[in-house]
Amino acid sequence: MSAFGLPEQASSIAVRVDHLFYAVTLVTGVTALGVLIAMIFFGIRYREGSKARRAEDVPAAQARARRRVEVAWTLIPLLLFISAFVWASRIYVERATPPADAIEIFVVAKQWMWKLQHPGGQREIEELHIPRGQPVKLVMTSQDVIHSFFVPAFRLKQDVLPGAYTQMWFTATKVGRYHLFCAEYCGTDHSRMGGDIVVMEPADFQRWLVEHRGAVDMAARGESLFREFGCSGCHGQNASVHAPNLAGLFGRPVPLSDGRTVVADERYIHDSILLPRQEIAAGYAPIMPSFAGQIGEDDILALIEYIKSLAPEKERPR
């Protein structure tokens, strides 16, 4: 059945999307059918040669009733549309609001494959293992062109952009293996840029994590990158250079030299590493070198995880 209509429902939001889908199908189907039946009925009854009454035989009173019919067929669709709009928007807003306790998974898209990293350091290519019943949040970026992360069974997709992070969250509700497609045309092998989402029971997933654990988790990898690229030379505890302290930075507002204030989120850290002159922290000289071309997107994500880990426990941001 899945190739001839909606696929199986494998996420918590899929159920709600399908209910809306069926409701809209019902209303539009009934309307379209109504129009079709009216056309066929009129088409036969008022065909040339039939004996039905024609427009000039119709009394004026009926003509006045017309106005009421016209108002009705304007207002009723309007009310139906507003209902559909509100219903759909509420699901959409929920889709855009990840819960605080979601497991974060980092996705880097490139022509023509998906690279995924778990916080514990496990890396996957074109396959993503996740537990059933727990919210998962994907933090995604692209190394080259725009791609799109599409899981039909979840009823979700989100474009993945170069130079920015986009997010998508879901709670998988059914164990199984589901298609992952790239849904934004990205060049030659766009149709081959897919994979699978593998949903496992939580216990199985824990076992999988342990089996595939890398040497270090992402934050630890980020820490070694921090030293390897010389960041600690200026941002470390014993640095002689006047550079912003990164402990507790993530999620905090940062006043900039041009008077604006931005929040130190993933994007801010990403751009600070690649485009340090773009947003200079107030009170600091613009002396940080750019690491554009030296650090790949995967490594930037690891550095971000490390910087996040520098925050005190109780102030851990989302």
Partner 1 sequence: MTSASSPVATGDIPLPPNAVAARGSSYLDGGMTLRSWLLTHDHKRIAILYTLSITAFFFIGGAAATLIRLELATPMGDVVSAETYNKLFTMHGVIMVWFFLIPSIPSTLGNFLLPLMIGARDLAFPRLNLASWYLYVGGALFTIAAMLLGGVDTGWTFYAPFSTMFSNTHVIYVLAGVFVVGFSSILTGINFIVTVHKMRAPGLTWFRLPLFVWAQYATSAILVLATPVLAMTLVLLAVERLFGIGIFDPNLGGDPLLFQHLFWFYSHPAVYVMVLPAMGVVSELVACFSRNPIFGYKAMAYAILAIAVIGFLVWGHHMFVSGQSMYAGVVFSMLSFLVAIPSAIKVFNWTATLWHGRIVYSAPMLYALGFVGLFTIGGMTGLFLAALALDVHLTDTYFVIAHFHYIMVGGSVSAYLGGIHFWWPKITGRMYSDRWARFAAILLFVGFNFTFFPQYLLGMAGMPRRYHEYPPEFQTLNVLSSAGAVILALGYLLPLFYLTWSLLRGPRATANPWKATGLEWQTSSPPPEHNFDTVPVVDSPPYAYRPGVISPAVVQAREGTG
Partner 2 sequence: MTASPAPALGIAGQFEDVRQRHAAATLGMWIFLATEVLFFGALFFAYSIARAQAPDAFAAASRHTNIVLGTANTAILLTSSLMMVLAVRSASMEARRTTVMLLVATAVLGVAFAAIKLTEYRLDYLDHLVPVLDFAFDPRYERGARIFFGFYFATTALHLLHLSIGVVVVLAFAWRTHRSWSPELPHSIEIVGLYWHFVDVVWIFLYPCLYLVARA
> Interaction with partner 2 in 237-266: which residues (CB under 8 A)?
258
Contacts for 292 with CB less than 8 Å, ≥ 6 apart = 274, 275
Q: How far is CA 309 from CA 17, 157, 190, 263, 312, in A?
A: 36, 29, 36, 17, 8
Beta carbon of residue 151, minimum distance to partner 2 (angstroms, whole number): 32
CB 204 within 8 A of CB 124: no
CB 130 within 8 A of CB 138: no
CA end-to-end span of the chain: 39
Q: Which is nearer to partner 2, 126 or 271 (CB)?
A: 271
Which positions from 172 through 231 interact with partner 1, judged by CB under 8 A?
179, 181-192
CB 7 within 8 A of CB 14: no
156 binds, options partner 1, partner 2, none, Cβ within 5 to 8 A by partner type: partner 1
- The dihedral formed by the CA atoms of 194, 200, 204 and 210, expressed in degrees to the nearest 10: 40
Q: Considering only residues 26, 286, 316, 318, which one is a binding residue for partner 2 as defined by CB under 8 A?
A: 286
Using CB under 8 A as the binding rule, whether residue 29 contacts partner 2 is answered as no
Q: Which residue, 176, 189, 173, 169, is CA-closest to 114?
A: 189
Which positions from 15 through 74 interact with partner 1, judged by CB under 8 A?
16-17, 20-21, 24-25, 28-29, 31-32, 35-36, 38-39, 42-43, 46-49, 52-58, 66, 70, 73-74
162 binds, options partner 1, partner 2, none, Cβ within 5 to 8 A by partner type: partner 1
Q: How far is the C-alpha of 178 from the C-alpha of 156, rounded, in Å? A: 12
Site string for partner 1, 275-294 (x = CB under 8 A): x----------------x--
The structure tokens listed for 53 are 């009454």
User: Residue 55: which region, alpha, beta or left (left: phi > 0; alpha: psi -120 to 50)?
Assistant: alpha
Beta carbon of residue 301, minimum distance to partner 2 (angstroms, whole number): 23
Q: Considering only residues 158, 171, 272, 309, which one is a binding residue for partner 1 as defined by CB under 8 A?
A: 158
Q: Which residue is associated with the tokens 């593998």? A: 198
Beta carbon of residue 301, minimum distance to partner 1 (angstroms, whole number): 16
Q: Which residue is associated with the tokens 């766009």? A: 190
102 binds, options partner 1, partner 2, none, Cβ within 5 to 8 A by partner type: none
Cα R_g (the chain), whole angstroms: 28
181 binds, options partner 1, partner 2, none, Cβ within 5 to 8 A by partner type: partner 1
Using CB under 8 A as the binding rule, whether residue 275 contacts partner 2 is answered as yes
Which positions from 91 through 150 interact with partner 1, judged by CB under 8 A?
91-93, 95-96, 111, 144-146, 148, 150
258 binds, options partner 2, partner 1, none, Cβ within 5 to 8 A by partner type: partner 2
182 binds, options partner 2, partner 1, none, Cβ within 5 to 8 A by partner type: partner 1
Using CB under 8 A as the binding rule, whether residue 294 contacts partner 2 is answered as no
Contacts for 195 with CB less than 8 Å, ≥ 6 apart = 114, 125, 126, 127, 128, 180
Q: How far is the C-alpha of 3 from the C-alpha of 15, rounded, in Å? A: 18
239 binds, options partner 2, partner 1, none, Cβ within 5 to 8 A by partner type: none
Query: Which residues lie near partner 2 (CB under 8 A)?
Result: 258, 275, 277-278, 286
